[in-house]
Amino acid sequence: MKAEKTSVKLATGLCMLIMTAGCGDNILTAASKIASDQICQLSANEIKVLNQTLIDLGHQQQPPVEVPSITDLQAAAIANFLAVNNFCTIEDLQNLPTRIRAGEQLNGLDELAAAFGNIDPNNVNPDDLAHLLNQSIGASSSHGNGGG
Contacts of 38 (CB under 8 A, 6+ apart): 32, 88
Give me the DSSP letters along 49-74. HHHHHHHHHHHHSSS--------HHH
Q: How confident is the model at residue 16 (pLDDT cuts 50, 70, 90)?
A: very low
- Confidence at residue 13, expressed as pLDDT on a 0 to 100 scale: 47
- Confidence at residue 91, expressed as pLDDT on a 0 to 100 scale: 94
Contacts of 117 (CB under 8 A, 6+ apart): none
Task: Summarize pLDDT for 82-124 with one digit per residue, the tens.
Answer: 999 999 999 999 999 999 999 999 999 999 999 998 888 888 8
Sign of CA dihedral 54, 128, 41, 89: negative
Task: Summarize pLDDT for 21-48 with one digit per residue, the tens.
Answer: 455 679 999 999 999 999 999 999 999 9
